[in-house]
Structure 1
């Protein structure tokens, strides 16, 4: 029970941070994929940079010992092919829906019209992955990629030195983007502040649960639960119920985003985008199926994995934005 409560509290801080940062609006995410609005990228980099500091501090004082993400493979053409293909699919889903597995929850809370259908697609994606996606995942045969999953381990650097370089790089990119693409009007807080708030929620997650942020696992666990219930009902199986631990974090995200949204009296994000039913459901399927093939989503790989300088996370995030930008250019 105590573990569940801590996970809910961790999710609540994350949900509130997403609302405060304003990155849950479909127009913000699709605008980023169209390279016309860089609020998402600035927030993302600030969140990752501040998360890196939180991870180093909690590891130093033995509060957490979270490990960097390792490659995901489907054994087609590369040890990272799961990261590449899954990341691209996730990027496609983001370009179609203006959502990701994490920001979908604040969208539902805010009453974004496409949200329920994207959620339907997300649940279908979790169900499909549970049955058909898991068998696709293989074992990485190159031991060094598992034993040394980070950039600094591969280059034989210290984590502190590598993180300092990463922080400087993030600051430089954020500064350049802010100069040429300043924040628009209507934000609760500047992009950098919003990203730092997400970084604070990363620290809360490490303190409360010992683990980093990540939400796509909840969709997979709900898919596991669906097939368990189906087997129990049809075949009378007596297998133990699968874990739904990740859903407590998702529940907390609902509560945190709803609480801040209502407290501030916010309204539905305005948008001229029209996301039709088929596009919403298909995009939702791609969001969750892709993120699980890749072993994480924009929060798990993008915020948490990048901050640990995981090679797999860097590959995944590159694929997410590459896929999303490419599809956005095709569909307009």
Structure 2
């Protein structure tokens, strides 16, 4: 029940924020409207404060998100490649692993095709992981798992001490820089606040408010969903593992916690959009079924390669000040922006 309630809080927050909408996502990657970025940065700022407080008070003992090394090029090659694929997929489909669930709840047509692609990618990735595990027995060879934490789930293990990826343990930015967590927190919050202010100059605030909350309040609503996750589950938000878990059902793996969370996201989006009809889009941006399916496939495949998505890395991982999450987020927005510009 806690997973469903947490998912419902996340789904309601995404819908109220309006960032579930494909046109908001596509406009961000075309650099015509910065509503998504301003909301994302506000959510990261609020979530970082909450998570740091929870860690300091020992309400949670979550480790930084692990590095994903897939190709042997460098420690974070999976984060960079996966983040790039995820960003490109978002620019193609107007969805990410979390928002595609909200789109399903609200009733966005393109979201159904993107979801089909996402589930297909989950099946494919679970097969890849299963095949890899059957072929090699050495723990360090299993890095194809993509840096997943907590026994392959994003935010389920209440102690935060679940199985880590054996070879690629997580590292924080303050450890890398050799500074205190408090000093980095102050610096990071200052940078995020300034970035939110800068993004406001390029944000169509009127359109965002007409659909829900102003972007900075919307970001704080998503941070509030993070608080719900901490209180109810002792863990952080993340959406993409559910698609791998669904794929794993074909091979006999029965994991339900992440799937229940995802069902909650759909339900929360459905409830809030019915209670407040203005949150539903009046018109939808035209995205072909083939494009939606392709983008949906890319967002989940990229997320699993990176070991997390825009919520797992972009919100939760940044809140833990994980090096892997900063690199993944940079790849998402960098390649997503390039793809958006190329697609016009």
Q: What TM-score, normalized by structure 1, do the two folds share?
A: 0.89
Deviation at 1:187, TM superposition (A): 3.3
1:75 aligns with 71
2:11 aligns with 15
Q: Is 1:214 matched with 2:238?
A: yes
How many residues are paired up? 313
Give the conservation status (yes or no) of the 8 Å contact 1:64–1:207: no
Change (3 A) 1:118 1:182: closer
Matches within 5 A, 1:96-115: 96-115=92-111
Matches within 5 A, 1:23-42: 23-42=19-38
Change (3 A) 1:147 1:295: closer
Q: Which runs of 5+ in 1 are unaligned?
A: 229-240
Post-superposition Cα deviations, 1:137-157, rounded to whole Å, max 9, x if no partner, equal 4499xx9x9556111011222
The structure 2 residue matched to 1:273, chosen from 274, 285, 306, is 285
Question: Secondary structure, in 3 states, of the residue corresponding to 2:108?
Answer: coil
2:186 aligns with 164
Give the conservation status (yes or no) of the 8 Å contact 1:127–1:227: no
Deviation at 1:181, TM superposition (A): 3.5
Q: For residues 263 and 284 of structure 2, what CA distance do their matches in structure 1 show?
A: 30
Q: Which runs of 5+ in 2 are unaligned?
A: 133-141, 147-164
Give the conservation status (yes or no) of the 8 Å contact 2:105–2:268: no
Post-superposition Cα deviations, 1:229-263, rounded to whole Å, max 9, x if no partner, equal xxxxxxxxxxxx43222111111112211111111
Question: Secondary structure, in 3 states, of the residue corresponding to 1:197?
Answer: helix
Question: Secondary structure, in 3 states, of the residue corresponding to 2:3?
Answer: helix
Q: For residues 46 and 264 of structure 2, what CA distance do their matches in structure 1 show?
A: 22
2:203 aligns with 181
Q: Is 1:123 matched with 2:119?
A: yes
The structure 2 residue matched to 1:255, chosen from 267, 272, 275, is 267
RMSD: 1.9
Change (3 A) 1:147 1:120: closer
2:215 aligns with 191
Q: Is 1:87 matched with 2:99?
A: no
Change (3 A) 1:323 1:151: same
Q: For residues 203 and 115 of structure 2, what CA distance do their matches in structure 1 show?
A: 31
Q: For residues 195 and 263 of structure 1, what CA distance do their matches in structure 2 show?
A: 21
Deviation at 1:272, TM superposition (A): 5.9
- Which of structure 1's runs of 4+ aligned residues deviate more than 4 A? 145-148
Deviation at 1:82, TM superposition (A): 0.4
